[in-house]
Amino acid sequence: MLKWLKRRVGSLVVTLLLISAVLWLMAEEQSAAMAEKPETAGLSVTVIEAIPADARIEVNATGITIARWSTEMTASVSGRVIEVANNAMPGRLVKKGEALVSLLDTYYQSEVEAARARVSEAELNLSEMRNRQYVAKTSNAAKSAFGRFEPHVSAAEANFAAAKAALASAEQQLADTRIEAPFDAVVIADLVHPGQWVNAGDVLFHVAASDFLDVKVELAEINWQRLQGIQQRADAITVVAESGQHWPASIRYLSPVMDSITRQRSMMLQLASPFQRSKPLLADQQVSVVFEGEAQSFVVNAPASVLTDDGQVWSVIDNALRLETIELLNEQPEFVLFRYLDRPEQKRLLVRFPLSSFLEGQSVSTAVF
């Protein structure tokens, strides 16, 4: 019995030793396989080839259209409206000097004629005083200024000047019974109708210049730097309306100061003939403004997905990831334009879909998109 137990224990020990040896061999094979396999085996990234090239950088902004010379046409004299021009209605274009409204001018005609009569009377009186002065001087009898009719002549000259000024005023009031367009304009609102009595100071029309429409744009400093020399280039600015129409624009003036809060600088653009198209561009509308900047070197055009959350990109160099800092030149929903700060002229493989788990120097395999 004792011998049987010893043989039984011995066989169990041998079995355990054999099992341990097999497990040890399996562990060694697994360790060797893991040592031969790269740590990042299976990490594959999609890349695109980043080829730097010359490109013109577009700066996109938003602007607000503003009517130029928006003016309220008011009555300078009182009177009854006898005629309103056919073109004097909202949306119509009128030429400079074109009549918009005519007032009854009978009273002002009579004032002009009365003023002319006073001018003639004052002129006659002045001639009489000058004649008397001449007689007094030739007789050598008058020694004083009064005797020489000097104050008489001065008073007559003053009356004559006052009469002519009164005539000019009466003629101006007569002319003001005809309200004319002050410049080539578009009628925005009409507030008058025939038969209406208007008083001096009443608003009759609201008009704005029709030759040009202004667009106010606010730009950040970084965009200003990209637009150096744009004032000297024609057809470098395009305004896009909500209707999809494109309008060439030019710079009217630049604000000499920056906004103290937004730190942006204002630019006023102008569009020529904004009301002449079938779909005119109106005031107080939001529009898109596209500025075409100067040509720049070593610019990479890539899908927008290449950017990380902090505005950097991942490149693959020698099958390893490298995080690189860039100068972002233009960012759109579909694409971005940028320039590498380090060796911008060098071609690279650019990771199209970077992950937050990427590590600098991490080995990867690539699939070119």
What does the pLDDT look like over 155-183, one tens digit per residue?
999 999 999 999 999 999 999 999 999 99
Q: How far apart are CA 250 and CA 236, in angstroms?
A: 8
Closest CA to 259 of 225, 291, 221: 221
SS3 assignment, position 270: strand
- Looking at residue 244, its pLDDT comes to 87
Q: How far apart are CA 249 and CA 243, in angstroms?
A: 17
- Looking at residue 40, its pLDDT comes to 41
69-91 pLDDT, tens digit each: 999 999 999 999 999 999 899 98
- Strand 44-50, strand 365-368: pairing: parallel
User: What is the value of pTM for the model shown?
Assistant: 0.66
- Looking at residue 331, its pLDDT comes to 81
Beta carbons of 147 and 136 less than 8 angstroms apart: yes
CATH of region 44-51+307-368, choose from 2.40.420, 2.60.40, 2.40.10, 2.30.30: 2.40.420
Hey, how many other C-beta atoms are within 10 angstroms of the C-beta on 117? 12
40-63 pLDDT, tens digit each: 445 889 999 999 998 887 788 899
Hey, how many other C-beta atoms are within 10 angstroms of the C-beta on 52? 19
- The single-letter code of the amino acid at 166 is A
- Looking at residue 12, its pLDDT comes to 57
97 DSSP 8-state letter: T
Q: How far apart are CA 338 and CA 130, in angstroms?
A: 88
Closest CA to 218 of 274, 285, 263: 263
Helices 106-139 & 150-175 angle (0-180, nearest 10): 160
- Looking at residue 267, its pLDDT comes to 87
Which residues, given as ranges, of the chain have pLDDT below 70? Answer: 1-42, 140-142, 228-234
Domain ranges of the chain: 44-51+307-368, 60-67+209-291, 106-176
Write the CATH number of the domain with boundaries 60-67+209-291. Answer: 2.40.30.170
Give the CA count within 13 Å in the CB-facing half-sphere of 147.
9
- The single-letter code of the amino acid at 228 is Q
Using alpha carbons, list the distances in angstroms from residue 96 to 60, 92, 281, 334, 343.
36, 13, 21, 48, 61
